[in-house]
Amino acid sequence: MCPVHGEQRPALVKCLNVCRAACQAPCRGYWLRELKGRICLAHYYVPLAQGKPGTGSLMSKYPSVNELIPRDDPRSADLDLCVYNLHLKDLLHLDAALRQERRLMFIQIFKMCLLDLLSKKKPDDELYQKILSKQENDLEELEKGLQARLSHTEMLGAGDSEYVTLADVEKKEREYSEQLIDNMEAFWKQMENIQPFLVDQFKCSSSKARQLEMTLTDRMIVAEGLLRDSQDVQALDALERTLGRAHMAKTIESLKLQIQEETRCRLAAISQSLELLTVEGRLSGRQKEELLTQQHKAFWGEAERFSREFVQQGKDLVKASLAGQAEGMAGLVLAQEEEQRSFLAEARLAADPEGHLQALHEVLQRQRLTQTDLEEEEEVRVTEAVAALCQELYRTTMDTFRKFADVLFLQTLPGVTGLSQADCDYLRQEAQENTARQLGKSDRFRKQQWELFQDLLEQERQVWMEEHALSAVLQTHLRDGHESVTRQVLDRLGGLSEESVRCVLQGHALLLRSALRRLALRGSAVATLTQMRLAGKKSLLQELREQHALEQGSSQCLDEHQWQLLSALEARVLEETHRLREEAQRTRLQLQQQLLAEAQEAMQLLQRHTERAIGRALLGQARNAATKGRARDRDDFKRTLLEAATESVYVTSAGVGRLVQAYYQQVGGVMGDHEDRQLQHLRTLQGERRENYKLRRKQDLGGSSSGAESAGGAREAPQAVHLRMLAQQRKFLAQFTAHQRTRLDAWKQKARAADHLEAQLEAQLQEAEQTFLSELAALARVPCAESRPVSNKRGLSEKSLRTKRKKPPIRDRGDPEGPNDDDSASRGQPSGPLSGKRLSQQGSEAGDGENSKKMLKRRSNL
C-alpha cells in the first residue's frame, strides 16, 4: 500500500515514477521492507515544516553518528534532534548563570572576610578597595577568557553548511566540558593564591591570612551547596521544558499533517466517483485519467501553497517573537542588574553573613526563574500564534478544496458525461460522504497516534528519572570515596596540627563539591546525547507502532491474509523494540564510560590540588619543627659555652674583658651608625618635603596671579567679588587636599625608611653577637657548632621585620605552623649573663665604659 497515493503497488517501479514526478527530484532511496511490498519512507514521513510529500529528507529522521541534523533550516528537520539540541543549549545557559552567581557570591564572601581581617579599615579604604579590585579583575579576566574559548569552539563547527553532524555536537560538548573544567581549576588556583597575595603584597600576617582563607573556604562550601540545590531544581525544570517543547512540536506537526490527510481523502473520494462513472460508461479511461490528473495537480498544488505559506508566515512569526523576546529580555536584564546593585548597596555584610548569602541566592534564583518564565511564555505565545495561523490557512485551503469539487461535479462533469445537474450534485454529495468516512477513520488514527505519543513522552520521562537517579548514585560514590581516602591519608601521615588537618579537609570538601556539581551537569548532557543517538530507532519504532494501530483498527473482521500481515507487523514491532533496547544499552554504556573517564580526570585534578595542600601543610610543619629545633640547639650551645667558659683554664679575666670590650665597642659603633643613617634619612626626607612645598607654592602663586588678573579684568562686573570668593574657596580646598596627600606620602616614606634601617640594625647586631660567641668559643677551646653567622640576607630579603616585635631570622614568613612565642635567646644580650658570671668569679675589673653600657641597654630595649 502506498501511503502517498492510497493504492496497492505490487512493485516499486510505478510508485517510484509517480513519486519522482510529484517531487520533481529522484527519491533518496530510503526504503523499508514491510509486509508484502515496500513502503517509501522518504514520502511516508513528512516533517514539521515540510510542504508536499516527497520533499522530506530522511537524513535526520534516522541519524547515526555520521548522519546530519539541521541547524537553521526547519525543513527536513527531525523534531527530537532539534528539541534535544535546544536542551543542550539550556544546560549551557544554566551553567553560565550558576557560574555568574558563584562569582558574585565569592566577591561578597571575600568582602565579608576582608571586613573581619581589616576591622579597623572602612569599606571605602584604599587598601580594602585595592585588594578587592584585584580579585574582581582576576575573575573578570577569567570569565572573558572562558567566553572567548567557548565562542571559538562554537564557531569551529559552523562552517558554510546548514547542517551539523551529531558527531560534531558530541565533540563540541566534550570541548565545552574540558574548557569548563579548566575554568574551574583556574578558579581554584585563584582561591589558593589569596593567602600568599595578602602576605606578600599587603604585608598581612600569615596567621590572619590563613584565618581569612579558612573562613572564605567554609562559606564557599555553603555557597556551593546552594548552587548545587539550585542546579538540580533548574535542571529538572529544563527537562520539563524540553518535554513541553516536544509536545508543542508534535501538536503543530499534527495540525500541519491534517491538510495532507484532507488532500488524500478528498482525492480518493473523487477517484472512486470517477471510477464509478467509467464503469458505467459515462467516462472513458483517457478522460478519467485526465480529470484525475487535473484534480491531483490542483489539490496537491493547493496543499503545497498551504505548506509554503505556513512555513513563510511561521518563520516571520518566530523572527518577530525572537526580536520581541530579545528586546524584553534586555530590559529585564537591565532591571535585574539594577536590583542586584540596590540589594548589594543596602546589604549589611558584617551583621549576618549566612543570612546575606541566602538572601543573595534567593534574589538571583528568583531573577533566573523570571527569565525562564518570560522565555516559556513567549514560546507558548508563538506556538499558539503558529497554531492559529495553521487553522486559518487550513480553513482557507478547505474552502478552496470545496470550490475544486464544485467546479468538477457541477461544471465539468455535466458537460463531459451528459448527466443532469441533479445527478452530478448527487455524485458530489456521495463524494463528500465518502470523504467524511475516510476522515473519520483518519481522526481515529490520529487519536491513536496521540495516545502513543503520550506514552512515548511518559517513557522518556521515566528514562530521564532513571538517569537522574544513576547520576545521584555516582555522585555519592565519588564523594564518599574521595573523602574517605583523604581522611585515611591524613590519619596515616600524622604530625599535623588540628588546624592544618581542618584546613586541608575544608579545601578538599569545597573542590570536591565544585567538581561533582560540574560532573552532574555533564551527566545531563551525556544523557541528552544518548537520546539523540537513539532518536532514529525510536522514531522508526514509533512509526511501526502507529502503522500497527492503523492496520488493527482498519477493519473489525480480518481475513486470513490480513491476519498474517498483522501478525507479521506485530513481530516486527517486537523485533524493533528488542533492537532498540539493546542499542540503548550499548549507547548508554559507551557514553557512561566516557563520562566516567572525564570524572576520573576531574578527580585526578582534585587529587593533585589536595596533594599540594597536604604538601604545604607538611612543609609548614617541618619548618616549624626546624625553627624550634634550631632555637633549642642555639640555647643548648649557649649553656654549654657558659659552662665550658666558667670551668676552662684558658679563659682569663683579661681575655673575657677584651672580648666584652670589643663587643661593646662594636655594638656602640653599630648604634652610632644607625643614628647617623636615621638622621641622614630624616634630613633627606625633610629636604624633599621642603622642595615639594616650594614647588607647590610657586604653582599656587602662579595660579593666584593669573586668577587676580582675570578677576581684575572683570572687576567692573557685579559678580567679581562672588567669583573671587568661590575661587578662594576652591583654592583652599585644593591646597588642603594636596597638603594632606603630601603628608600621607611623607609618612609612608618615613615608615619605609624606618623599616629598612631597623632591618639593617637587626642584621648588624646579630652579626656582632655571633662574632662574640665565636671568639669566646675559640678562647674556651669549645667547638663552635654555629660558627657561621645567622643569614642576614635571608632576613633582609624576606623583610621579616614588618612590626616592632623582633622575630627569629630563621622563621619563614608563610609558615602556617610558625611558633607564637618570641625567642628571647636569639634577640637578647647573649654575653651579658656569661661575662657577668665569669667576672664575678675572678674578681676582675669590668672594663666597661658607660657609653658602651648605655648602647647595650638601648640595644636590649629595641
Q: Which of 92-106, 333-347, 409-423, 761-775 has the lowest mean pLDDT?
A: 761-775
Phi, psi of 637 (to 5 degrees): -65, -40
HSE-CB of 1 using CA atoms within 13 angstroms: 8
In whole angstroms, give the CA distance from residue 434 to residue 438. Answer: 6
Predicted confidence (pLDDT) per residue in 582-632, tens digit? 988 898 899 889 899 998 898 989 988 888 888 888 887 777 777 776 666
- Residue 343: all three cell numbers together: 540589594
421-493 and 498-533 helices, crossing angle to 10°: 160
Beta-carbon contacts of 364 under 8 Å, excluding residues fewer than 6 positions away, are 101, 104, 340
For the full predicted model, state whether its pTM sits above 0.75. no
Helical residues (DSSP H) of 118-205, grouped into ranges: 126-156, 166-192, 194-202
For residue 163, the SS3 value is: strand
Cβ–Cβ < 8 Å for 217, 192: no
Highest averaged pLDDT of the listed ranges 112-116, 263-267, 441-445, 498-502: 263-267
Greatest CA separation found in the chain? 159
pLDDT of residue 244: 87
Q: Which residues contact 547 (CB under 8 A, 6 or more apart)?
A: 34, 569
Q: What was the pLDDT predicted at 725? A: 73
Q: Rounded distance, CA 783 to CA 801, Å?
A: 31
Q: What cell numbers appear for 488 in the block?
A: 585515611
Q: Using pLDDT thresholds of 50, 70 and 90, give the confidence band for residue 486.
A: confident
Closest CA to 247 of 80, 463, 393, 391: 80
Categorize the per-residue pLDDT at 61 as very low, low, confident or very high, splitting at 50, 70 and 90.
very low
Distance, in Å, from the CA atom of 98 to the CA atom of 790, rounded to the nearest integer, reads 53
State residue 228's pLDDT score. Answer: 94
CA-wise closest residue to 770 among 670, 701, 850, 838: 670
Residue 227 has pLDDT above 90, yes or no: yes
Confidence of residue 719 (pLDDT cuts 50, 70, 90): low
CA dist 662 and 658 (Å) reads 6
* Residue with the three cell numbers 591646597: 735
Three-state secondary structure of 512-539? HHHHHHHHHHHHHHHHHHHHHHCHHHHH
Q: Identify the DSSP state of 810.
A: T
User: Which residues are CB-contacts of 283 (< 8 A; sequence separation ≥ 6)?
Assistant: 274, 277, 291, 416, 417
Higher-confidence position of 99 and 566: 99
User: Which residues touch 270 (CB under 8 Å, ≥6 apart)?
Assistant: 292, 295, 405, 408, 431
pLDDT higher at 611 or 787: 611
Bridge partners for 40 per DSSP: 31
User: What pLDDT does 718 receive?
Assistant: 53
The pLDDT confidence band at residue 841, using thresholds 50, 70 and 90, is very low
| CA distance linking residue 839 with residue 654, whole number of Å | 9
pLDDT for the residue numbered 162: 62
Instruction: Write phi, then psi, for 164 (nearest 5 degrees).
Output: -135, 140
Q: Which 3 state secondary structure label does DSSP give 843?
A: coil
For the chain, percent of residues with pLDDT exceeding 70: 74
